[in-house]
Amino acid sequence: MRAAPIKTLKFEGVILPEQVVRRAHAWTRRQGGGKPKYRLCAFCERSFPFTKKFFTVRSKRPWGLETICRQCNNAKALQPNKDAARRLRLLVLTAYGRNGLLQCCCCGELNEEFLTLDHKHGVGSKERRRLTALTLFRRLRDAGFPSGYQTLCWNCNLSYGLRGYCPHQRTKVGAN
Protein backbone atom coordinates (compact mmCIF):
# COMPACT_ATOMS: atom_id res chain seq x y z
CA MET A 1 0.00 0.00 0.00
CA ARG A 2 1.40 3.38 -1.05
CA ALA A 3 1.60 6.25 1.39
CA ALA A 4 -0.35 9.39 0.55
CA PRO A 5 1.80 12.17 -0.93
CA ILE A 6 2.82 14.89 1.52
CA LYS A 7 1.31 18.33 0.87
CA THR A 8 3.95 21.02 0.62
CA LEU A 9 3.83 24.80 0.88
CA LYS A 10 6.34 27.54 0.18
CA PHE A 11 7.45 29.26 3.39
CA GLU A 12 10.10 31.98 3.44
CA GLY A 13 11.32 30.89 0.03
CA VAL A 14 11.69 27.22 1.02
CA ILE A 15 9.30 24.39 0.16
CA LEU A 16 8.32 22.62 3.37
CA PRO A 17 5.69 20.07 4.44
CA GLU A 18 2.29 21.69 5.09
CA GLN A 19 2.26 20.74 8.81
CA VAL A 20 5.59 22.49 9.41
CA VAL A 21 4.32 25.70 7.78
CA ARG A 22 1.07 25.65 9.78
CA ARG A 23 2.97 25.13 13.03
CA ALA A 24 5.33 28.00 12.20
CA HIS A 25 2.40 30.37 11.65
CA ALA A 26 0.66 29.23 14.85
CA TRP A 27 3.88 29.50 16.88
CA THR A 28 4.48 33.06 15.68
CA ARG A 29 0.94 34.06 16.72
CA ARG A 30 1.23 32.43 20.18
CA GLN A 31 4.60 33.97 20.90
CA GLY A 32 3.34 37.46 20.13
CA GLY A 33 6.55 37.92 18.22
CA GLY A 34 5.17 40.61 15.95
CA LYS A 35 3.65 40.35 12.52
CA PRO A 36 4.73 37.19 10.66
CA LYS A 37 6.57 37.57 7.37
CA TYR A 38 4.31 35.02 5.64
CA ARG A 39 0.69 34.01 6.11
CA LEU A 40 -1.49 31.14 4.89
CA CYS A 41 -4.66 32.22 3.12
CA ALA A 42 -7.59 30.77 5.07
CA PHE A 43 -9.42 30.05 1.81
CA CYS A 44 -6.91 28.67 -0.72
CA GLU A 45 -4.27 27.69 1.89
CA ARG A 46 -1.38 29.14 -0.11
CA SER A 47 1.41 31.01 1.66
CA PHE A 48 1.96 34.70 0.80
CA PRO A 49 4.10 37.50 2.21
CA PHE A 50 1.93 39.07 4.92
CA THR A 51 1.70 42.55 3.35
CA LYS A 52 -0.99 44.90 2.01
CA LYS A 53 -0.09 43.77 -1.49
CA PHE A 54 -1.37 40.24 -0.83
CA PHE A 55 -3.95 40.72 1.97
CA THR A 56 -6.82 43.24 2.27
CA VAL A 57 -6.64 45.84 5.05
CA ARG A 58 -9.06 45.17 7.95
CA SER A 59 -8.61 47.24 11.09
CA LYS A 60 -10.32 44.69 13.39
CA ARG A 61 -8.02 41.82 12.36
CA PRO A 62 -4.68 40.99 13.99
CA TRP A 63 -1.96 43.19 12.47
CA GLY A 64 -4.69 45.04 10.51
CA LEU A 65 -4.84 42.59 7.60
CA GLU A 66 -7.49 40.10 6.47
CA THR A 67 -6.88 36.34 6.79
CA ILE A 68 -7.93 35.70 3.18
CA CYS A 69 -5.64 36.72 0.31
CA ARG A 70 -6.77 39.48 -2.07
CA GLN A 71 -7.35 37.08 -4.94
CA CYS A 72 -9.73 34.86 -2.91
CA ASN A 73 -11.39 37.89 -1.30
CA ASN A 74 -12.17 39.43 -4.71
CA ALA A 75 -13.49 36.13 -6.09
CA LYS A 76 -15.79 35.67 -3.07
CA ALA A 77 -17.11 39.24 -3.36
CA LEU A 78 -17.89 39.01 -7.08
CA GLN A 79 -19.67 35.64 -7.07
CA PRO A 80 -23.10 36.80 -5.74
CA ASN A 81 -23.17 39.63 -8.31
CA LYS A 82 -22.34 37.24 -11.15
CA ASP A 83 -25.11 34.87 -10.07
CA ALA A 84 -27.70 37.68 -9.87
CA ALA A 85 -26.67 39.04 -13.29
CA ARG A 86 -26.94 35.58 -14.85
CA ARG A 87 -30.42 35.06 -13.38
CA LEU A 88 -31.56 38.46 -14.71
CA ARG A 89 -30.15 37.70 -18.17
CA LEU A 90 -31.97 34.35 -18.27
CA LEU A 91 -35.22 36.01 -17.13
CA VAL A 92 -35.06 38.61 -19.92
CA LEU A 93 -34.04 36.13 -22.63
CA THR A 94 -36.86 33.81 -21.55
CA ALA A 95 -39.41 36.64 -21.63
CA TYR A 96 -38.42 37.56 -25.20
CA GLY A 97 -37.85 33.98 -26.41
CA ARG A 98 -40.07 31.96 -28.72
CA ASN A 99 -43.39 31.26 -26.94
CA GLY A 100 -41.95 32.55 -23.65
CA LEU A 101 -39.24 29.86 -23.61
CA LEU A 102 -35.48 30.24 -23.49
CA GLN A 103 -34.81 29.72 -27.20
CA CYS A 104 -34.03 31.61 -30.40
CA CYS A 105 -37.12 33.14 -32.04
CA CYS A 106 -35.77 32.30 -35.50
CA CYS A 107 -34.13 28.86 -35.46
CA GLY A 108 -35.13 27.52 -32.02
CA GLU A 109 -31.56 27.24 -30.62
CA LEU A 110 -31.78 26.18 -26.95
CA ASN A 111 -28.17 26.54 -25.75
CA GLU A 112 -28.16 29.54 -23.40
CA GLU A 113 -24.54 30.48 -24.19
CA PHE A 114 -25.49 31.15 -27.83
CA LEU A 115 -28.51 33.35 -27.10
CA THR A 116 -28.55 37.14 -27.14
CA LEU A 117 -31.08 39.98 -27.07
CA ASP A 118 -31.91 41.56 -30.45
CA HIS A 119 -33.46 44.99 -31.07
CA LYS A 120 -36.15 44.44 -33.70
CA HIS A 121 -35.96 47.93 -35.18
CA GLY A 122 -32.18 48.23 -35.52
CA VAL A 123 -31.58 50.71 -32.67
CA GLY A 124 -29.23 48.41 -30.76
CA SER A 125 -26.05 50.36 -31.46
CA LYS A 126 -27.54 53.59 -30.06
CA GLU A 127 -28.72 51.80 -26.93
CA ARG A 128 -25.37 49.99 -26.41
CA ARG A 129 -23.54 53.32 -26.42
CA ARG A 130 -25.72 54.57 -23.54
CA LEU A 131 -26.33 51.44 -21.45
CA THR A 132 -24.52 48.32 -20.32
CA ALA A 133 -26.25 45.01 -20.96
CA LEU A 134 -27.08 44.61 -17.28
CA THR A 135 -28.65 48.09 -17.09
CA LEU A 136 -30.72 47.34 -20.20
CA PHE A 137 -31.92 44.04 -18.70
CA ARG A 138 -32.93 45.81 -15.47
CA ARG A 139 -34.85 48.50 -17.37
CA LEU A 140 -36.68 45.93 -19.49
CA ARG A 141 -37.64 43.94 -16.39
CA ASP A 142 -38.80 47.04 -14.52
CA ALA A 143 -40.84 48.23 -17.54
CA GLY A 144 -42.64 44.88 -17.77
CA PHE A 145 -40.79 43.61 -20.87
CA PRO A 146 -42.00 46.09 -23.55
CA SER A 147 -42.15 45.05 -27.20
CA GLY A 148 -39.35 45.82 -29.66
CA TYR A 149 -36.93 43.07 -28.58
CA GLN A 150 -36.49 39.37 -29.29
CA THR A 151 -34.16 36.55 -28.28
CA LEU A 152 -31.93 35.36 -31.11
CA CYS A 153 -28.87 33.15 -31.29
CA TRP A 154 -25.62 34.85 -32.31
CA ASN A 155 -25.79 33.43 -35.86
CA CYS A 156 -29.30 34.71 -36.55
CA ASN A 157 -28.58 38.07 -34.90
CA LEU A 158 -25.41 38.59 -36.96
CA SER A 159 -27.17 37.60 -40.17
CA TYR A 160 -30.02 40.05 -39.52
CA GLY A 161 -27.49 42.79 -38.79
CA LEU A 162 -25.32 42.19 -41.88
CA ARG A 163 -27.83 41.02 -44.49
CA GLY A 164 -31.20 42.11 -43.15
CA TYR A 165 -32.52 38.54 -43.14
CA CYS A 166 -31.69 35.19 -41.58
CA PRO A 167 -30.88 32.14 -43.74
CA HIS A 168 -33.29 30.08 -41.61
CA GLN A 169 -36.21 32.34 -42.58
CA ARG A 170 -35.11 32.54 -46.23
CA THR A 171 -35.04 28.73 -46.45
CA LYS A 172 -38.49 28.46 -44.91
CA VAL A 173 -39.91 31.10 -47.31
CA GLY A 174 -38.28 29.42 -50.34
CA ALA A 175 -39.68 26.01 -49.35
CA ASN A 176 -43.31 27.23 -49.55
Q: pLDDT digits over 81-107, tens only? A: 888 889 999 999 999 998 889 999 989
Whole-number pLDDT of residue 53 = 84
Residue 31 has pLDDT above 60, yes or no: no
Higher pLDDT, 60 or 6: 60
Residue 176 has pLDDT above 50, yes or no: no
Residue 70's pLDDT band, with cuts at 50, 70 and 90, is: confident
Higher pLDDT, 94 or 126: 94
Residue 63 has pLDDT above 80, yes or no: no
pTM: 0.55
Whole-number pLDDT of residue 83 = 84
Residue 5's pLDDT band, with cuts at 50, 70 and 90, is: low
Whole-number pLDDT of residue 173 = 42
Residue 142 has pLDDT above 90, yes or no: yes
Higher pLDDT, 17 or 158: 158
Residue-averaged pLDDT of the chain = 79
> Residue ranges per domain, the chain?
8-74, 96-175
Distance from CA of residue 57 to its chain's centroid? Answer: 24
Residue 137 has pLDDT above 70, yes or no: yes
Whole-number pLDDT of residue 143 = 93
Residue 23 has pLDDT above 70, yes or no: no
Mean pLDDT on 48-56: 82
